[in-house]
Structure 1
Amino acid sequence: MTRTLALLLLGASLPLASCGLRPLYGAGASSATAQSLGMIEVTPIDERSGWLLRNALVDRLAVAGGADSPRYRLDVLIDDDITKFGLRGDAGATRERRTLRARYQLIDLATGETLVDATAGSDAGIDITSSPYATVAAEQSAVERLSMEVADDIVARLALYFDRTARR
């Protein structure tokens, strides 16, 4: 039974060997992609949500020891919006949607060329309760989660860019 299972797993894995998939960070922190991410300096971003996003980006980009002598600069502009909906009979809202969008540009400091110009974003639904404190706390928790999600998206896209340029 065990031998048959092992043969089945081996047979099923053969097509995967030729599919061309390979790990993005194959060599860990010493990979070209991780080294390139470590050379990015993130400029300050306005507002509290921008501060949260910048901190999340700096944390994720420091995989190779940080940008002591940066080669790239990441400029980010954000749009943080709260929209109320789900109206009650007294015209009060019952739900909110918090949306965090970021337009980011990766700039080569040596040439001034814009290498990547893209957007990333995420949104979250928030229940409005009878307690204003609870609603404000939910809004703050939402923006903290959204900044992490947007930072993950930005770093993943930058990693793909560096991986593709390294293969050329």
Structure 2
Amino acid sequence: MTRWLAPLALGASLALGGCGLHPLYAGGSNGVVANALATVEVAPIAGQSGWLVRNALNDRIGAAGKAPSRYRLEVELDDQITGFGVRTDNSVTRERRTLRARYRLVEQDKGTVVLDATAGSDAGIDVVTSEYAVIAAEQSALERLTEELADQIVARVALYAAHNGKPPQAAQ
């Protein structure tokens, strides 16, 4: 069985190289994507969830003072907590916190929207008898959701940058 493994691995690596896949962040901090992300300024976002998302985006982009901003990232959030899992006494036993974002990448010189997309994530929260524990769980869920949202947004902006400012084509 092991004598088949080496030729199989070699064939798989050759096939993968021929499919056109390449690292998104090739070149590290001096690569095309990193340089493009360094020119993105994140506009202020309203509310506590907006503050958390903006900080997470800035952490991932790492653009603080690196290059003059060419793009502005505008984000609008929708943060909702919905109760479900209702007992016979009408008390909620479970909540879902949903954080959705509509974001636009605007070329600052022209004011042109070059990328308009959405991202979102949700988390389940157990509702217990301690009100403090529920509030802490809701806050913890919000912090995790903002991190996930920032990851999605930066990945999409990085894809845009990797394709030399052209929206990536859908997979066929």
TM > 0.5 between the two?
Answer: yes
| Aligned position for 1:93 | 92
| Aligned position for 1:114 | 113
Deviations 1:96-137 (A, max 9, x none): 000001111111111111111111110101000010010000
Structure 1 residue runs of 5 or longer lacking an equivalent are: none
Aligned 8 A contact 2:83 2:95 in 1? yes
| Aligned position for 1:44 | 44
Structure 2 residue runs of 5 or longer lacking an equivalent are: 168-172
Counterpart CA distance in 2 for 1:43 and 1:137 is 28
SS of 1:90's equivalent in the other structure is: coil
Deviation at 1:29, TM superposition (A): 1.2
| Aligned position for 1:134 | 133
Change (3 A) 1:68 1:27: closer
Aligned 8 A contact 1:71 1:108 in 2? yes
Counterpart CA distance in 1 for 2:65 and 2:163 is 22
Deviation at 1:166, TM superposition (A): 5.3
Alignment coverage as a number of residue pairs: 167
Change (3 A) 1:167 1:54: closer
| Aligned position for 1:104 | 103
Change (3 A) 1:27 1:93: same
SS of 2:94's equivalent in the other structure is: strand
Counterpart CA distance in 1 for 2:18 and 2:132 is 55
Aligned 8 A contact 2:58 2:64 in 1? no
Aligned 8 A contact 2:44 2:51 in 1? yes
Counterpart CA distance in 2 for 1:166 and 1:106 is 11
Q: CA RMSD in A?
A: 1.9
Map 1:7-156; keep pairs closer than 5 Å: 7-62=7-62, 66-156=65-155
SS of 1:44's equivalent in the other structure is: coil
Aligned 8 A contact 1:101 1:120 in 2? yes
Deviation at 1:167, TM superposition (A): 7.7
* Identical amino acids, percent of aligned pairs: 57
Deviations 1:6-39 (A, max 9, x none): 3342233221121111111111111111111111
Q: Which has the larger share of helix?
A: 1
SS of 1:165's equivalent in the other structure is: coil
